């Protein structure tokens, strides 16, 4: 019994299409330098410098968010009156924040329907805070359009 084994030529790109070996080594060196820098920073217990500067609260509202996977969102005030209702085209970011809250509350094993606190600070930063889990986020990090969606809720 004879088997025919055909040796296929190895597919190999021409040298002009390959990434130069020196460039691969340079990228690896950059990754290692970053890893070393971050490790040293953590080992010496350097102070946290990447948080937003603390500033007095100018406006604070307690709201209830509801959303669904389609992107629609409903916002209620503290006394459960309707503040705003958004279609899937309008409420994408609010609905996304609702999903984050649902995940954080599930992880913390607390009620899923608790309120959130939206704060505007003196330094023009907005934040969302969930008192039931202690989770919070600086909304300015999500872009001007997304933080404006929460800024409209404060008016």
pLDDT of residue 131: 92
- Write out pLDDT tens, residues 12-49: 767 777 788 899 999 999 999 999 998 998 889 877 66
Contacts of 83 (CB under 8 A, 6+ apart): 63, 75, 76, 77, 153
Which string of DSSP letters, residue by residue, matches 55-85?
A: --EEEEEEEEEEE-TTS-EEEE-TTS-EEEE
Q: Which residue has the tokens 């060196």?
A: 29
- Write out pLDDT tens, residues 96-131: 888 999 999 999 999 888 899 999 988 888 898 999
pLDDT of residue 5: 60
């Amino acid at each position: 019994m004879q088997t025919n084994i055909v040796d296929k030529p190895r597919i190999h790109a021409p040298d002009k299409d390959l990434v130069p070996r020196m460039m691969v080594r340079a990228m690896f060196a950059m990754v290692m330098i970053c890893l070393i820098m971050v490790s040293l920073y953590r080992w010496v217990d350097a102070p946290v410098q990447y948080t937003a500067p603390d500033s007095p609260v100018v406006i604070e509202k307690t709201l209830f968010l509801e959303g669904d996977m389609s992107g629609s969102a409903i916002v209620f005030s503290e006394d459960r009156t309707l503040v705003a209702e958004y279609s899937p085209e309008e409420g994408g970011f609010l609905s996304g924040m609702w999903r984050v809250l649902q995940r954080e509350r599930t992880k913390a094993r607390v009620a899923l329907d608790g309120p959130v606190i939206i704060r505007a600070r003196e330094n023009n930063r907005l934040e969302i805070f969930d008192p039931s889990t202690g989770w919070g986020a600086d909304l300015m990090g999500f872009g001007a359009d997304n933080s404006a969606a929460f800024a409209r809720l404060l008016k």
